[in-house]
Structure formats: C-alpha cells, structure tokens
Amino acid sequence: MNIDYIYDFIKVAEYKSLNKASHTLNISTPALSKRINSIEDYFNSVLFIRTVNGIFLNEQGEIVLDLFKKINKSIESTKFQINDHQSEILKIGVIPSFSLIKLQNNYKDSLSTIVIENSTSILLEKLNKGYLDVIIGDITNINNADIVTQEIYQEEFVIVFPIDSKIKYEHINSIHQLQNEMIYIQSPPCDTFKFLDDNVNLNKLNVMYKENYESILANIKANKGITVMPKFLSKGIDTLNLSINHLRDKRIVGVASYDRNKLREIYKLIK
C-alpha cells in the first residue's frame, strides 16, 4: 500500500463520496477508487459500504480510519519539525508550459526546489499532501475553498494538424467541432486530457493516448490525426511543416497555495 493513499482514505471517509473526494484531491474518480481498493486489499477486508447514496465506513473501516488519522497526524508533525529547520526553503511545482526564466532569475538565491510535472492534478496532489508549498499551473477548476489562487494569465489551446489537412479551411475554433477527428494526446494525467474532459464529453471524441509529444507529433506528421495542446507548447511547430488553429477555449494559468503569504511572494516575482 502506498503511504500517500492514507490522506485519500481520510478524505473519502470525510466526504462519504468518491466523486466529491476526487474533486477535492484533483484526481479522477476511477483512480481514487483504485486507491481505496488497494487499501482494502492491503488489510484483506472490505472497509466501506458502497451504496447509491454514497460510500460509508463499516466497523473495520472505522478502525482503519482511526489508525490513519494517527499516522497522518504523526507525519504532519514530523514534516512541520523538518520544515521548521528549513523555513527559508520554498518548494514550488510548475507545469512544463510555464516559463521558469523570470522565476529563477528573481528567486535563485533562496529557491531550493522546483518540481516540474506534466499535469496540474499531480502538482495539486503534492500540494494537498504538503510536498509542495506553491504550484503554478491550470487553476481554472480548482474548487477547494482552502486553496488560495491568483491568476497570472489566460492561455489558449491550439489544434496542431498536417499542413494539407482540410481543417485548415474549416475554421474550427472549438473542441466540440473535433468529433470526427482522431486526436492524439499524452496519456493522463496531463493538462490537455483534463481540459478536454472538463469541456466536452470524451466519449464523443476519438482520442488516442501516447507517452510523449515526440510520438504525438510523429503521428500528426504521418497524417494520422491531429493534437490539442496549450499554446506555449506549440512554439516551433511551424518548423515541422505542421499548421495551427487557435481555439476559443482557454484555461487560466495561475499560482495556488494553502499559504496566502507564500502565494503572494511567488506572484510578485513572476508578474
């Protein structure tokens, strides 16, 4: 059992709902369900009663919850002791499409760690568990009332397609117009997947998952389909003999943290 699942278990028990807990934890409901199943496998016991009205702890689950709360409290206490000796160190997580140049230039003397992840959801999970102090990513749909957010800029998503594709002449500017296209994106979790999932029924799209952008672009160049990505990542696409259409759909890139002072400190440096 992964120790990170302890916090997930506590949240599911608190919300009595996988959907609500997954929303707060910023992971998919199926992924959270697998984590709960993993915990039940570890204890070789069913710990929740699953009903149409929610998911509720049984007697064995209450015992595990009590144990997990004690463990989590101990972990948080230890982290506090460690961080107390490193109070000047700020741990920042960023998505790949955010330029680090200004942040590094302005904060290089005291910045200890920058973590880069392909997905804001991964950064949020690390923020929730205290592994990061501040994250910079897609804050469009962060609904956790305890997390403070500040917009930096809004970013378009773009379609990338073969230069001779009919899309060039169809004036497509919305993902809802892409139902007849084969769309290549990175395997989730990634921000493009989250963007599509938030804005359209994925069951209505033809989506093919690849592990990296190189593989995606190779398929586009081979005229096998198209891709969708944040505008920043499309720099240099024209040198690959590919074309770009701008979508009207946008995301909000910003700073997020549980600590308002730390958020302000980073926001001032990058604005």
DSSP structure string for 123-145: HHHHHHTTS-SEEEEE-TT---T
Q: How many Cα atoms are found within 13 Å in the side-chain-facing hemisphere of 149?
A: 19
pLDDT beneath 50, residues of the chain: 109
Residue 151 makes CB contacts below 8 A (sequence gap 6+) with: 139, 252, 253, 254
pLDDT of residue 159: 92
pLDDT of residue 87: 53
Distance in angstroms (rounded) separating the CA atoms of residues 64 and 10: 10
Distance in angstroms (rounded) separating the CA atoms of residues 266 and 271: 9
pLDDT of residue 147: 93
pLDDT of residue 80: 64
pLDDT of residue 88: 59
The token pair that represents 118 in the structure block: 């392909």
